[in-house]
Amino acid sequence: MSAGRYAPSPSGDLHLGNLRTALLAWLFARSSGRGFLMRIEDLDRGRDAGAADRQLEDLAELGIDWDGPAVLQTERGDDHDAAIAELAERGLVYECSCTRRDILAAPTAPHAPPGAYPGTCRDRNEAERAAARERILPRLPALRLRVPEGAEQLAFEDRLMGRVTGVVDDLVLRRGDGAVAYNLAVVVDDASMGVDQVVRGDDLASSTPRQIVLQRLLGLPAPPAVEYAHVPLVLGPSGARLAKRDGAVTLRELQAHGIGVERVRSRLAESLGLAAPGESVCIEQILARFDPGLLPREPWVWTPDPT
């Protein structure tokens, strides 16, 4: 099945930025005749606040529907393990004992972005790896992808951002605590679910070249067979990224302040140029008016309704 998707982390209630991105993902998928799927990205157990059910309720109340039950990422561990094993069999996985502090303190390659992995553990022999394992106990080493020569930089075409070029370092596949890393899981899960359209916040655009490298190495669909659209974020009144400090920013908080779901939906549509100021629109009207080519390319600054 050809499909788009929305994949929230259950770390808390969805705020207006999350809801706007979910609405856009739904609009892109439904307007192109694709299915629309829901996946709860609950791999990071430390950030799981048990908010998945509330998130799904809020999305449904907004008018967003999806095909089939929501998929839990934690139930897909066998596929994640198989992908890492396949890469390891080809000599593309190595142990890494570096901490985040180690990486930030190490010199990086020319033109590499801050925080890019400098390859400290890449060429260690078995004795050196064993010594590193002993040194970091009880922590376990992470597993990193040995990015093949020639794949260190990659460009892709984005529906909204145009041509995006990114540096691909030796990314983590499995963390030291055993959790599968986001970049590996999202690639494996999207392919398994038939997702060929990925709509998400533009803060994740820099991760996409890494994911495309993984898609190609694993023989999974990759651009142009997979379409990406990274959408502008929502900012608070101060101009910083929308957050709880900006007051009532979730659907439930806004409802508690007397702002109903219809008004929230209409404000989101207005921010996308799909409703006139003050106009009340239903989800069907928003879909009928949707044109990806006319979407704003700048962040939307949320300002509360005057009371």
Encoded tokens for 156: 């892709």
CB 10 within 8 A of CB 50: yes
120-150 burial, b for 16+ CB within 10 Å, e for fewer? Answer: ebeebeeeebeebeeeeeeeebbbbbbbeee
**Is 228 annotated among the ligand-binding residues?**
no
**Is 41 annotated among the ligand-binding residues?**
yes
**Is 6 annotated among the ligand-binding residues?**
yes
Q: Which helix (H) or strand (E) holds 288?
A: helix 283-289
**Is 5 annotated among the ligand-binding residues?**
yes
**Is 192 annotated among the ligand-binding residues?**
no
Beta-sheet pairing, 162-167 with 227-231: unpaired
**Is 7 annotated among the ligand-binding residues?**
yes
What does residue 217 show for φ and ψ, rounded to 5 degrees? -65, -35
**Is 117 annotated among the ligand-binding residues?**
yes
**Is 282 annotated among the ligand-binding residues?**
no
**Is 8 annotated among the ligand-binding residues?**
yes
**What is the C-alpha separation between 26 and 37, in angstroms, rounded?**
9
**Is 60 annotated among the ligand-binding residues?**
no
List the binding residues for ATP.
Answer: 244
List the binding residues for L-glutamate.
Answer: 5-9, 41, 182, 200
List the binding residues for Zn(2+).
Answer: 96, 98, 117, 121
List the binding residues.
Answer: 5-9, 41, 96, 98, 117, 121, 182, 200, 244
